[in-house]
């Protein structure tokens, strides 16, 4: 079974965070949410989230993918955490998946994993940090090798479904999507 780490911080976008965790778990993927600080945190719209563990404890475990939720303030806090940046770099070097949505692709840019890759983000976010060497796309979800990026809250479900297809398979993605009763 695939294992996914979802780091969260004060100001992370709750729609993106919860959608990714929920849909991946529906697909039978083990998801661990980890706060960069201990305890509950307040997300970007005031929802209180309680991570499964701390980033410090999560760093002692192995994961197949790390998924970064956006939210401007949350993404800034994730980008400022050297432990997380080092994890992303290591996972990329090991050929493991790194994924980010909304404002969080800036963390991938900072970690240097977007060089020569196609990537997307919330409008203007990647451009504001020089793109990290990425070819910036306006597509809702972009997959380039082991890097997966997405635009924002409105694309969170498509993003999560794409992650399921990558980590498990298309029939599992289709089963999860069918049960959601999307039009």
> Across residues 155-163, what is the average pLDDT?
98
E strand intervals along the chain: 3-8, 30-35, 41-42, 48-49, 53-54, 65-68, 97-101, 118-119, 135-136, 141-144, 147-150
Residue 87 maps to a domain: yes
181 occurs within a structural domain: no
Q: Is 102 a catalytic residue?
A: yes
Q: What percent of the chain has pLDDT over 70?
A: 100
pLDDT (tens digit, 9 = 90+) per residue, 135-154? 999 999 999 999 999 999 99
Task: List pLDDT tens digits, range 167-176.
Answer: 999 999 999 9
The whole-number pLDDT of residue 131 equals: 87
Say if 71 falls within a structural domain: yes
Domain for residue 54, yes or no?
A: yes
What angle separates helix 170-180 from helix 156-167, to the nearest 10 degrees? 150
Average pLDDT of the chain to the nearest whole number: 97
Of 24, 36, 87, 102, the catalytic one is: 102
Please report, for the domain that includes residue 112, its CATH number. Answer: 3.40.50.880
Q: Does 178 map to a domain?
A: no
What's the number of domains the chain is made of?
1
- Per the structure, the complete domain to which residue 24 belongs is given by 3-172
pLDDT higher than 90, residue 133: yes
The answer to whether residue 183 is domain-embedded is no
Residue 183: the pLDDT is: 83
How would residue 26 be classed by pLDDT, with cut points 50, 70 and 90? very high
* C-beta of residue 14 within 8 angstroms of C-beta of residue 45: yes
Please state the rounded mean pLDDT for residues 33-55: 97
């Amino acid at each position: 079974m695939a294992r996914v780490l979802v780091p969260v911080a004060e100001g992370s976008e709750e729609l993106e965070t919860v959608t990714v965790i929920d849909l991946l778990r529906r697909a039978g993927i083990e998801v661990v949410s980890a706060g960069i600080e201990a305890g509950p945190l307040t997300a970007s719209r005031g929802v209180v989230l309680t991570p499964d563990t701390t980033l410090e404890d999560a760093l002692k475990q192995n994961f197949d993918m790390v998924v970064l939720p956006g939210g401007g303030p949350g993404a800034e806090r994730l980008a400022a955490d050297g432990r997380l940046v080092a994890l992303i770099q290591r996972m990329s070097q090991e050929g493991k998946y790194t994924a980010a949505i909304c404002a969080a692709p800036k963390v991938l840019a900072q970690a240097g994993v977007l060089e020569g890759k196609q990537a997307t983000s919330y409008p203007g976010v990647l451009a504001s940090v020089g793109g990290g060497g990425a070819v910036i796309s306006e597509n809702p979800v972009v997959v380039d090798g082991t890097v997966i990026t997405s635009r924002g809250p409105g694309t969170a479900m498509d993003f999560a479904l794409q992650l399921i297809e990558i980590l498990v398979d298309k029939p599992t993605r289709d089963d999860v999507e069918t049960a959601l009763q999307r039009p």
